[in-house]
């Protein structure tokens, strides 16, 4: 019989995070991010205990337990394009731009309009390495840029922002325009973070009798 305490625990953290995001006790998006990501890390650590694997474990956890409807392994095409531009990989950047980024620069973009699966990315840019593509997945960007930014600097870093471009509650991510930057910056919507925690906590409860699990031979984010 499954042990359901994780779902109950996650619901309490979810409620607290959402209230802080709405301004309770002077809270903001940053406080909500810290609680959601800490709770997800805690669940991942129960599934695969160990040290010095936190980011890889976090990303792998979302891939396995967050549910396909939340698209945690989707690749952020604007962020991948920014990475290719920084690395001066002009050929793949041109192909990616022609295939998926042919839009007006003033347009409000959401993830469902522009982001793709890794299979779709490789159909256009077969020369890219799996690891560099997966590093631009939602799950990895959430940990590396947003979570780590708030934990270590108390602000988003890299190509992440704390302002949404749409209030659509069904949107997982949206993209922010900067006048001084060619690249779009990604915003992870609180409703998506909340769903990640709820669904993954329920999924872990279902396999509680099998915990901890054996570590994978290769973490997903490593390719």
Residue 82 main-chain phi, psi, to 5 deg: -65, -40
So what's the pLDDT on residue 2? 59
Residue 188 main-chain phi, psi, to 5 deg: -95, 115
Place of tokens 């650590």: 45
Half-sphere exposure of 196 (CA within 13 A, CB side): 32
Residue 179 main-chain phi, psi, to 5 deg: -65, -35
| Helix, strand, coil % in the chain, rounded to nearest 5 | 60, 10, 30
Query: Are the CB atoms for 185 and 8 separated by under 8 Å?
Result: no
- Tally the residues of the chain: 223
So what's the pLDDT on residue 69? 96
Mean pLDDT of the chain: 95
Q: pTM of the entire structure? A: 0.96
Q: Is 121 helix (H, G, I), strand (E, B) or coil?
A: helix
Residue 109 main-chain phi, psi, to 5 deg: -110, 140
pLDDT, tens digit only, all 223 positions of the chain: 557 899 999 999 999 999 999 999 999 999 999 999 999 999 999 999 999 999 999 999 999 999 999 999 999 999 999 999 999 999 999 999 999 998 877 788 999 999 999 999 999 999 999 999 999 999 999 999 999 999 999 999 999 999 998 888 889 999 998 877 888 999 999 999 999 999 999 999 999 999 999 999 999 999 9
Place of tokens 């499954």: 2
Please work out, in degrees rounded to the nearest 5, the angle formed at the alpha carbon of residue 15 by the alpha carbons of 13 and 21. 100
What lies within 8 Å, CB to CB, of 183 at 6+ separation is 78, 79, 81, 82, 85, 159
Q: What proportion of the chain, given as a percentage, has pLDDT over 90?
A: 88
So what's the pLDDT on residue 4? 87
Instruction: Output the CA–CA distances (angstroms, integers) from residue 208 to 58, 67, 81, 164, in the order listed.
Output: 18, 17, 40, 36
So what's the pLDDT on residue 103? 82
Strands 109-110 and 173-178, bridge-based pairing: antiparallel
Dihedral sign from CA coordinates of 193, 194, 195, 196: positive
The tokens for 208 are 């509680």
So what's the pLDDT on residue 180? 75
């Amino acid at each position: 019989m499954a042990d359901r305490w994780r779902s109950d625990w996650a619901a309490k953290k979810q409620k607290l995070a959402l209230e802080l995001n709405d301004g309770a006790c002077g809270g903001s998006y940053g406080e909500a991010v810290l609680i959601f990501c800490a709770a997800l890390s805690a669940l991942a650590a129960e599934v695969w205990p160990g040290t010095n694997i936190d980011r890889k474990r976090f990303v792998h956890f979302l891939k396995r337990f967050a549910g396909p409807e939340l698209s945690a392994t989707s690749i952020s095409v604007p962020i991948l394009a920014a990475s290719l531009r920084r690395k001066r990989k002009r050929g793949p950047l041109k192909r990616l731009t022609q295939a998926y980024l042919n839009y007006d620069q003033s347009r409000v973009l959401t993830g469902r309009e522009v982001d793709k699966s890794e299979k779709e990315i490789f159909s256009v840019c077969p020369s890219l390495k799996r690891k560099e593509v997966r590093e631009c997945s939602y799950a990895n960007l959430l940990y590396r840029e947003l979570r780590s930014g708030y934990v270590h600097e108390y602000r988003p870093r890299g190509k992440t922002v704390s302002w949404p471009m749409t209030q659509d509650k069904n949107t997982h991510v949206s993209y922010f325009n900067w006048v001084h930057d060619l690249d779009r910056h990604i915003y992870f919507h609180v409703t998506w973070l909340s769903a990640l925690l709820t669904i993954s906590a329920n999924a872990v409860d279902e396999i509680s009798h099998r915990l901890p699990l054996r570590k994978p031979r290769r973490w997903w984010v490593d390719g």
